[in-house]
Chains A and B, each alone.
Chain A
Amino acid sequence: MSTPAFNAYRSLPVPSRSVHAWRYTPWKKIHPTGEPDVIPSDLIAATATISMLDGTDVPVGVSLEMRESVLRDSPLPDDDIAVAFLREVCNEHWHLKVESNIVLKSPLLVEIRAGGHLAAIETSVDIGAHSVVESVWTISGEASWFGFLRQGSIAVGAEYCEVMEQALASSTVFLRGEGWDVGRDATMNSCILSLGGSLLRSDIRSRIVQGSTIKQLIASYGIGDRSDDHHLEIDHVFGNNVSRVVLHSACDDSSRAVSTGQLRIAKGANGSNASQIFRNLLLSPDARAESIPELEVLADDVSAAHGAASAPIDPEQLFYLESRGLDPDAAQHLVVEGFLIAAMQELGSGKLFDWLRGRLTIHLDCALLE
């Protein structure tokens, strides 16, 4: 086997901890066999289906098709070991395409299911110029390891809003790589609800140009010894645009949340407005949170800010709720729910917000019953 991707993976050194994006989850740990030299041959492709959230037919101009994998110019670096590995192991490539000038009345529902022992899938998303699209993505399944590679482009003037519920089995190891290009005057709002899996490593990188806006919102809830590592990069290639990253992690038991990010404003990208906020709610003495929100600013007429905070629940909030009759567990769940919902507030779509909030509530209620 000697595909270009295979050769690329083999030629890459295993990244050391001094590499910002690999500081906390070593490649060996997230690799399906734990042996970086091995490329497993028994991976099966995850399934992908598309429908409309309201049950109507998928309209003309919207399609999800399997096609040959195409190497495209992407913010995901070719020399990243995880990207090269995912390109190697993803046998199937699903392409979601929305033609130009399509305005969807109901959100698309894209369901990804990872079955079997080891599973992987590559997807791409192309939203045509001036289209207005909302979508709901669900990722579920019992695979012990799941690799997910996604690349997307939002064309000129398009508006794309998506939510993703990641509810894999509690034992799944999940590796995700995503690269997004947001075109001129286009908008992309995305919110991920990260609930499943035992060890997760996600790398999402985006590029934005003039007039574009991107919001990347993530709400993560960790129980047991779950480790959820998110790396987010946004590159302001040109100016007069807006980016916002909000990541809220609630960590219970001995779980761990890792949030690393980089906002980069290129030379001359004046008028850029970039912000990045990482908040961690520590619910247990053994919970851990690591945050590295980085900024690199090479233009002067910009507004760039970041913040990070880690703290336990304010005892006054618990006291308030308990004084109104809630038992301590229910009070804590209510605070956690509010904390995670706060990450989704800026999504900009009532329909998607309600859907995601419902999923979170169900998940927390089930956890409370357990």
Chain B
Amino acid sequence: MKEQARDAVGDYRFGFHDPENATIRFDSGLSEEVVRNISAIKEEPQWMTDIRVKALHHFFERPMPEWGNSEMLDGIDFESICYFLKSSAGTETSWDEVPDDIKRTFDRLGIPDAEQKWLGGVTAQYESEAVYHSIRDDLEEQGVIFLDMDSGLKEHEDIVKQYFGSVVPYSDNKFSALNTAVWSGGSFLVIPEGVHVEMPVQAYFRINAKNMGQFERTLIIAKAGSSIHYVEGCTAPSYSTESLHSAVVELIAEEGSHIRYSTVQNWSSNVYNLVTKRGVAHKNASIEWVDGNIGSKLTMKYPAVILKGEGAHAEVISVAYAGEGQHQDAGSKVHHLAPRTTSRILSKSISKNGGRSSYRGMVQVSPKAHGCKVSVVCDALLLDEDSRSDTYPTMEVANNSCGVEHEASVSKVSGDQLFYLMSRGHTEEEAMGMIVNGFFEPFTKELPMEYAVELNRLLEMEMEGSIG
């Protein structure tokens, strides 16, 4: 029995779970009634209910994507998933008010500790809704709005109505339709003109229940000349049954603003992670996606930037680690619509123990995007002969004054590098770990220090036993 549990949980450090103490739990399955009930519980305005219902019908009508890992996608049983589970009476602003069992979970994940040390604000989401939310007083005084999305809709309906679905419409893809129909939780963040939020704000998403679907919706609006660094982390217990995480993130970077969105995705290996993330960058604005994918069963995530204003910039740095039974199908999309826009995509992946990693990317240069520059680099490491790495880049260039470059390589860890490190006294396992950490360095150096240390530790754990 113990061994069975070990097989299921493996070495996943966040695979623990607490007993379910749901205040509201919907029956499994998806219907218009479920969608209307979610909207009713949240006391949403009619326009939001209408969008949800429209999106649901679109989801039912739209076929599963034919590209990607169809075999795994076809394994999702939408009827076995619970689409709404509320574990707390409300969103608290003090950890003392959060129910004990939930607080214990976030204590073990180190969130309250991190908040005190280096964060400007925190949203902690447990199952379908945020259970804790806070923002530093000085940021609030400067007019920064940082709320969970449900509160955002209640308190700033006009802003949400203006921007909701403006970057990722429900008709964008099957999973954005699903998210729009059943969304719950997520972050709502507005940074006023000229305000620079120096400390990162963080959202932490935790799935605790079995067969749970988490569908948070995040909307970040950086007004002209402002800047923000938003960090999100995700974990879930390891169960033998599957859970679904299908988020939508919309970023709007107004003139001269800067948004950095960092993610360390560490779902357990029973979670399907099908996420749509997209930002619009206006004149001289910049959007950066720093995206780490370590966990999940199947990830399909392609953070995108639409460079709409002249001089806008996009940067995507992503790493993926695919272990046994995992497929990390990640990548990036950048659409250059305006002159003198620039973008840089750096993607790194490691496949081990039969894992599969894929880079799937698109760069589009429109006829009006004069003088734009694009650089795409993909590197993949294969650590054993059972693993697989794919690269599917698409470049569509319709302007003759731009420079578009793409390069990719797939290789194994160099014997020379291993020999060099081992000749200096390291074991083969240590040497391999150092090479892998070095391979991911362009990503980790962009993360806040605490996250980078945590990521390196995670990678070392994942690498354990990879030799011999």
Q: B interface, by DSSP: helix, strand, loop or mixed? A: strand
B408 contacts A291, CB within 8 Å? no
- Contact partner, A270, options B385, B390, B401, Cβ 8 Å: B385
A321 to B408: give the CA distance in the assembly, Å: 33
Q: Which residues of A272-303 have CB atoms within 8 Å of chain B's CB atoms? A: 280, 282-303
A309 to B392, CA, bound (A): 15
Q: Is B39 an interface residue (CB 8 A)?
A: no
A359 on the B face (CB < 8 A)? no
Decide if A297 touches B397 in the complex (CB within 8 Å): no
A24–B190 CA distance with the chains assembled, in angstroms: 41
Asked if A308 meets B393 with Cβ closer than 8 Å, knowing A299-B385, A301-B385, the reply is yes
Q: Which residues of B have CB within 8 Å of A291?
A: 393-395, 397, 406
Residues of B near A295 (CB, < 8 A) are 389-391, 408, 410
Chain A residue with minimal CB distance to B359?
A295
Taking a contact as CB atoms closer than 8 A, the residue among A290, A304, A307 that contacts B411 in the complex is: A304
- Residues of B near A280 (CB, < 8 A) are 397
A97 on the B face (CB < 8 A): no
A309 lies within 8 A of B405 (CB): yes
With an 8 Å Cβ cutoff, the count of chain A residues facing the other chain is 37
Known contacts: A291-B406, A303-B411, A305-B407. The answer to whether A296 contacts B399 by CB under 8 A is no
Q: Which of A150-191 contact B (CB under 8 A)?
A: none
Bound Cα distance from A299 to B380, whole angstroms: 12
Residue-wise, chain B 103-118 has the 8 Å CB interface mask toward A (1 for contact) of 0000000000000000
Closest to B370 in A: A285
B410 contact set on A, CB distance < 8 A? 295, 297, 302-305
Residues of B within 8 A of A310 (CB): 365, 395, 397, 402-404
Interchain CA distance A271-B384 in the complex, whole Å: 14
Is the pair A290, B394 in contact by a Cβ cutoff of 8 Å?
A: yes
The distance from the CB of A188 to the nearest CB of chain B, in whole angstroms, is 23
CA distance A290 to B365 in the complex (A): 10
- From A282, A292, A306, A307, B397 is in contact (CB under 8 Å) with A282
How many contacting A-B pairs (Cβ < 8 A)?
Answer: 114
- How far does the Cβ of A230 sit from chain B's closest Cβ, in whole Å? 15
Q: Are the CB atoms of B400 and A312 closer together than 8 Å? A: yes
Q: Which residue from chain A places its CB closest to the CB of B381 in the assembled complex? A: A300
Do B380 and A300 have beta carbons less than 8 Å apart? Answer: no
Residues of chain B within 8 A of A296, CB atoms compared? 388, 390
> Which residues of chain B are within 8 angstroms of A268 by Cβ–Cβ distance?
385
Complex contacts, B380 vs chain A, CB 8 Å: 297
Residues of B within 8 A of A306 (CB): 391, 406-408
A301:B412 contact, CB within 8 angstroms: yes
CB B323 to nearest CB in A, in angstroms, measures 15
State in angstroms the CA–CA spacing of A62 and B392 once bound together.
42
Question: For chain A residues 247-271, which have a beta carbon within 8 Å of chain B?
Answer: 267-268, 270
Would you give the shortest CB distance from B332 to chain A, in whole angstroms? 15
CB distance from A47 to the nearest CB of B (A): 39
Q: List chain A residues, Cβ under 8 A from B387.
A: 300
Q: Give Cα distance in the complex from A300 to B402, angstroms.
A: 36
Interface residues as binary, B233-262 with A (CB distance below 8 Å gives 1, 0 otherwise): 000000000000000000000000000000
A339 to chain B, nearest CB (A): 14
A288 contacts B411, CB within 8 Å? no
**For residue A23, which residue of chain B has the nearest CB?**
B394
Q: Shortest distance in angstroms between B315's beta carbon and chain A's nearest beta carbon?
A: 20
Complex CA–CA separation, A12 to B93 (angstroms): 61
The smallest C-beta distance from B345 to any residue of chain A, in angstroms, reads 13
> Is B385 a contact of A294 with CB atoms below 8 Å?
no
B398 interface contact, C-beta 8 A: yes
Nearest CB of B to A279, in Å = 10
Q: Does residue B396 face the partner (Cβ distance < 8 Å to A)?
A: yes
Which interface residue of B384, B400, B401, B407 has the most chain A CB atoms within 10 A?
A: B400
**Which residues of chain A come closer than 8 Å to B398, judged between CB atoms?**
288
Chain B min CB distance to A233 (Å)? 13
Say how far B53's CB is from chain A's closest CB, in angstroms. Answer: 28
B409 at the A interface (CB under 8 A):
yes
List CB contacts (< 8 Å) of A1-37 with chain B: 16, 18
Set of chain B residues within 8 Å of A366, measured between Cβ atoms? none
Write out the residue numbers on chain B whose beta carbons fall within 8 Å of the beta carbon of A299: 382, 385
What A residues does B367 contact at CB under 8 A? 285-286
Contacts of B402 in A (CB 8 A): 310-312
CB nearest neighbor in A for B395: A291
Check if B395 sits within 8 Å of A292, measured CB to CB.
Answer: yes
A18 touching B388 by the CB < 8 A rule?
Answer: no
Q: With a CB–CB cut-off of 8 A, which chain B residues contact A289?
A: 395-397
Q: B409–A300 contact, CB under 8 A? A: no
Q: Bound state CA distance, A230 and B397, in angstroms?
A: 16
> Which residues of A lie under 8 Å from residue B386 when comparing CB positions?
267
Q: How far is the CA of A291 from the CA of B395 in the complex (A)?
A: 5
User: Inside 8 A of A312's CB, which chain B residues have their CB?
Assistant: 400-402
- Residue B203 interfacial (CB < 8 Å): no
- CA A81 to CA B142, docked complex, whole Å: 62
B388 and A292 contacting across the interface, CB-CB below 8 Å: no
The closest CB in chain B to the CB of A282 belongs to: B400
List, in ascending order, chain A residues with CB within 8 A of B47's CB.
Answer: none
- Residues from chain A with Cβ under 8 Å of B405 in the complex: 307-309
Q: In the bound complex, do residue B388 and residue A297 qualify as a contact, i.e. CB atoms below 8 Å apart?
A: yes
The minimal Cβ–Cβ distance linking B415 to chain A, given in whole angstroms, is 10
Residue among A288, A300, A306 facing the most chain B CB atoms (10 A cut-off): A300
Specify the chain A residue showing the minimal Cβ separation from B382: A300
Most buried by A among B384, B389, B393, B410: B410
Q: Is B66 an interface residue (CB 8 A)?
A: yes
Beta-carbon nearest neighbor of B66 in chain A: A18
- Decide: A300 and B385 in contact? CB cutoff 8 A: yes
Interface centre among A285, A295, A301, A311 (most CB of B within 10 A): A295
Does any Cβ of A come within 8 Å of B201's Cβ?
no
| Residue B181 CB within 8 A of the other chain | no
In the complex, which residues 387-445 of chain B have their Cβ closer than 8 Å to any Cβ of chain A? 387-412
Complex alpha-carbon distance, A43 and B2, angstroms: 72
Contacts of B404 in A (CB 8 A): 308-311
Q: A285-B367, A309-B404, A312-B400 are contacts. A297–B389 as well, Cβ < 8 Å?
A: yes
List, in ascending order, chain B residues with CB within 8 A of A282's CB: 397, 399-400
Contact A292 B393 (CB under 8 A): yes
In chain B, what residue has the closest Cβ to A301? B412
Please, which residues of chain B bring their CB within 8 A of the CB of A287?
400
Tell whether B383 is near chain A: CB-to-CB under 8 Å. yes
Could you list 12 examples of A-B contacts with CB < 8 Å? Answer: A285-B400, A289-B395, A290-B394, A293-B406, A294-B393, A296-B388, A297-B388, A297-B390, A302-B410, A302-B412, A308-B405, A312-B401
Other than the known A289-B395, A292-B395, A307-B406, what 17 A-B pairs have Cβ atoms closer than 8 Å? Answer: A268-B385, A270-B385, A286-B367, A290-B396, A291-B395, A291-B397, A291-B406, A292-B393, A296-B390, A297-B380, A297-B388, A297-B389, A301-B385, A308-B406, A310-B397, A311-B402, A312-B401
Residues of chain B touching chain A, judged by Cβ–Cβ distance below 8 Å, are 66-67, 365, 367, 380, 382-412
